[in-house]
Chain A
Amino acid sequence: MLKYILRRLGFILLTLFVIITVTFFLMRLAPGNPFTSEKRLPPEIEANLNAHYGLDQPLYKQYFDYLGKVVTWDFGPSIKYKGQSVNDLISDGFPVSLQLGLEAIVIALFFGVLLGVLAAIRQNQWVDYLSMSIAVIGISVPSFIIAALLQYVFAMKLDWFPVATWESFRHTILPAVALALAPLAYIARLTRSTMLEVLSNDYIKTAKSKGFNERIIIYRHALRNSLLPVVSYMGPLTANVITGSFVIEKIFGIPGLGAHFVQSITNRDYTVIMGVTSFYSIILLLSILMVDIIYGLIDPRIKVSAKEEV
């Protein structure tokens, strides 16, 4: 097991290196630079700024300098936000996105599994139709529409929640729900279909014929096996959701990480582009690893260590 994890960590480092390298050169291929603006800077000022940020060096040198810094977890200063380092931006933004993301995951997981199970055990009844209608809406309606709708109904009309900003727990509920809806819908559909499959298995029939209570059959025997696909979906979902959503954070005025992914590119804020990309990659790779480990723990059919022999 330990050997497996170590090997996976090795691959993660290798993947990270590739991601950083590709991002670095792709980013520098894009026209423009961090000092591009409608009101053009005098050339001497621009040259001075380029020298300060090391942008006047040959590209390969910049690349190796950058690699050297990343190894020590120093992403450098932000060019767009004067006086703040990329590490500051991440350590300010990540806790916000993390809290929002965890809330959304809890909502999505709880209601998603609940709807999915209800739909499966009451297949083709009104509960099923209702659950799946919710799921279809959740998947097909874009999050910015959901967000605007939630704002309109629950903040503007009913006045239960504030419209936006990030101050108290009450402020977090609407964005968390908006963020949760799409994964919730996906989880519900996933749970329903695997649950139906599991319920038709022989061992469930056996349990039924032995006269077990239906609730026990569902929870003890069926649910656990039907959750496996959900668990594997949780990996990328977690990575996505806890690093922030640009759309949701923008609409609700939340100072999370999400905005940096998009704005840093518009701004050509090189250091921030690199910083958030590396950070996101790390989170994504680690959560995939976590899922694989958890998978081995809950599904007796999969032995993580056995993979090595294949």
Chain B
Amino acid sequence: MATTARPSPTAPTTGPAASQRRGRPAKRKNDGVAGYVFLSPWLLGLLAITAIPMLMSLYLSFTNYDVLSDWESMKWVGLDNYRTMFTEDPSFWHAVRVTLVFALVATPLKLAAALGVAMLLNRSFKAAGLFRGLFYLPSLLGGSVALAIVWVNMFNRDGAFNSFLGWFGIEGKAWVNDPDFALGTLILLAVWQFGAPMVIFLAGLKQVPVELYEAASVDGASPWRKFLSITLPMLSPVIFFNLVLETINGFQGFTSAFVLSNGTGGPVDSTLMYTLHLYIKGWNEYQMGYASAMAWVFLLAIGLVTAVVFRTGKFWVHYSDGED
């Protein structure tokens, strides 16, 4: 599904410049005006919904403001919000840790599951399409409140997971109420949604020339060797694409944590995702200045992580010339 929707990651993105290079015979003069006419809704959105709010939130982050009262109540506090965040709010560091653990554990597991299943499905057999659709379904449903509710009940004391353990004589507990395991159940929920990256991997796998595997077989390479020397390098652009996308998604987990903890981040802050902490500060405690400061730190952190991923990508992402 995602293959039709998401632009193929294997195709290198050519900027609009590419079409200019093609050189068109007649220059249409009124294109310039028309261009801005068609672009105007987007430009207005960029300005009013993105750029101005961003600057506004930067300003807000240096103030105390509770939204309920009018603008005059806004008080300039300098760097106080940032100082409080880093030195006086233990929950902030808790949230940072929870979010890092969640993103750094769930993302690799999810991608590994996605790649593994994609390789299982990368054969032509009758039911391949059926399985692909089936495994994709959780990606569509998994982000919803409804599914998070089901998930939490499944891992509760009387849930289905414990009855499964019961078959092996293991006595379970209310995993979602245990600070050591609550986040783990949310990680499992994220991994369960491996279908979206799987579909993208499948599209990538179809691009790998069969001759490479045949040649390797002639040379007597083991399946593991073929995986390491052919599949992984050939697939590296797709892995990179999925990694960037899923990491950024991972940092933004909110719904499942909200449902599990009923909006508190509990038990004992163990599911206090960064975005949930931001929500609590902004909409439970009406500290919009503080929440803005948190949003900016979040933006910088995500920017940093993305930059690091892109940097390291230079060392392990191979773009073969034959593509496209």
A and B interact: no
Q: Which residues of A contact B (CB under 8 A)?
A: none
Interface residues of chain B, those whose CB is within 8 Å of chain A, are none
